[in-house]
Structure 1
Amino acid sequence: MIKESNTFLRISLFSYLVYVFAPITRILPDMLKAAFIGIALLCLILHLLSENKYLVSFTFKYIIGFVLIDFLIYQGVWRTNGAITMVNKSLMLFVFWMPFLYIKPLEVSSESTIRFIRNLLELLLIIEIITTCIGNIIFPMASRLLASPLEVEQNRIFQMANIGGYGFIYALVIVLPMFIYRYKEKRNLKYLIIMIGISLTIAFANYMTAVVLSLTLLYFSLSLTSKKGRFWGLVVIAIIYCLGDTILESILTLSANALSSDNHIMSERLANIHEYITEGSTSGDMGYRDELRNSSWFAFLSSPIWGNLIGNFSTLGLHSEFIDWLGGTGLFGFSFIVSILYKQICHLLNFAKRHPIKRYLIISLFGIFMFGFINVITTAPEISASVVIIAMTFRNSNDYKLRRKSL
């Protein structure tokens, strides 16, 4: 039987989601920040104990798995970084994995609990979208500047203004397909407004990769889920092909305009894109990032089995999550990490296959896969939290009733 009230689960997710999607919590003392996660984990365990003993053993198995993953990543990737301790890095990684622990509890939760969590997440997203948009207007480049840990006092000001940084911006990119699904299913003006807010926030944040990735996921979301979308997708591709030279000239013009507006980062990104398309090579920041990824790849080639876990520690680029894992932990550690994550992703997809959201979830997961090759993701718990919780709560009442009858 499904209980109509899941109080401990609600408290657990409330504590976790408020911590993840309220940047203002980052200015709190470390003990208070840890308390948010501690309360979330404690209430999750209390919920599992009151529901089903099988869920307790199931969850603890994955908690142990995630702890081992954290140890491997720290030992292979971060061990020689004096600014990062094993405890702090492990806690940061665990916060990223934690949403996976909610998959099974949410699968059998009551309709009222699902509605409560969905409304809570949407409210937190809307608030952070508004504060991040306004914040980037008042403090140009604030979201980009938050990606750097060097300006501590400046970052505290941005966090006090509840401005979302790197993790929040890319979380919006990744979950855009699922909000497209929600709008198409509900035809609710709220979701159209949220999508507009997401697009504006990404634009104001000045992350060029986020802009390109969001357009890519938007294209797949529209073209792979409807005949009309496929038609217009082909039309857009044909237009781009026919107007290729004009578009390239426009990119250079936009780069010059960005430079004249003192937006040097956007200017450089646009110039890099033009260079890559026309010459097949990159310089500047994009070229530098290629070098960083190559250093991790060469580390893997020098020790393909154990990586940095055994023997000499090879320098890693620390700018490509998956290649850093390969270089740092070798095939041994990488296989272990993938085996744990694969099972959890399968649980998520197995649940989603009963609902229309599955196609959009796959597009979002594809976005994470693409992003993980060009940047780091485990420093951004907003990505895992939004994808998992949205996938588990964006289901209709009819879906819930079918599930309830099967239990």
Structure 2
Amino acid sequence: MINKKNITTLLLAGTLAAPAFAATTAELEERIEELEFANDSRFFNWTGTLENRYDYTTSEEKTTGSEASGNQSYFHSQFHLDMESRPSEKLSFFGRLSMKKYWNDGSFDANKPTSTENGDARNSDGLFDTWGYGRDHGTAAVYVERAFVNYDMGMNLTYTIGRLPTIDGMPKHINSGSPALGSYPTLAFSAILDGMALTHNAAVAGGSLKTRLIYTPLQFANFDGGTTTGRGIDNTTDLSGVTISTNSPMYSFMLDYTKNNTSFANGMNLIFQWVKIDNVFFGSSSTSALRLTNNRFAFYAEATGVAGTGLDFAAQFAMSKSESEGKLGGAQGVYCNDSKCDEDGNSYVLTAKYNFSKFALGYEYIKHEENSFAYDVANRGPLNIYGTAASNTHHIFANYKVDNNMKFVFGYQVQDIDQVYNYGLFGKGTDVDIKRDNFYTRMIATF
């Protein structure tokens, strides 16, 4: 005979247990998801940076027979999405997707101010075109700023191949208040380069010495689609009838020494780098016969926490030798107007910053001599302070760290330019008197 009291007790127990069971199941599922995420993150990690910046620039320009002055102001954003994967003890991958744009840009083409439309906002595209970027029916372009793998070969050797971290190098991390942003000094490499490297790492005098060979060939693909030659057959010839090589070598040798807790500083970094561009063609095959060989020697020294204080200091020097043969457009060589030229120029950068807990104040001096082969393709500001030949720049900056994920950078730059060149490189320099001031603010969020 069934006891009604027992049935009632069982029903009551089941009713009370159901929510507890459901809660336990939900917690279990959540825990499984956490474990799966933790397992995935062992092999693939994402981080990112969003920077919003404002620049206000004034300029006074005096050339032979003309004078001009004016000012400009811009808001712009830069977004980085960094990725890292370590699927094994030997292999690691690093990548970055990148975007940079002016806010609500109404010019015809912000990247081509010298186009037929001359960057004029009055042309037909303007805001109604740029307002739809990312949602209109166009290309699905994503810019890959870097993507490379490191492979541990044993015997302290690492092989690297891909799109290398050759921009935003030292000392840009100092005025940004950031860890090292690139692997090479700005005066040695400052362009996004594809290639390969072999690095040997050794313990030396209580520090780490990296010896590195880098190969970043400059290529000129032959896209001739003619019925008789076809793509890649009968290489293109230049204006003088000389064949243009599809693969011109660019290579580098580097010594990079780091040491912590030295007698005079909390940390130090010494770098020597030699970069050679070997007989590279410049221009259009129908209008140019110009080739350049450039040797560049760069030296970089950095000390952090000097004498146990908040002082960080860096000095950088580069000397460049440019040998060109032939002319661009029938009129110009590299820093000259002759068919055969040999031009030298040096560059100097001094950077100092003092850290006061969350606040830091710094000063930087940048000098590029005439014919110095200065370039900074990935520059962050309108004055291009690291990449303008025949210029002097004074740069005052301040960092304020709100917390671990938010900081502000404020700066003021004054630049004098004594000569200008066609595209910053070609033809004998024209004497000018250009003075430019720039005030900027940067808000940088990391996540």
The TM-score, its normalising length taken from structure 2, stands at: 0.25
Higher relative strand content: 2
Higher relative contact order (CA 8 A, sep 6+): 1
The TM-score, its normalising length taken from structure 1, stands at: 0.26
Higher relative helix content: 1
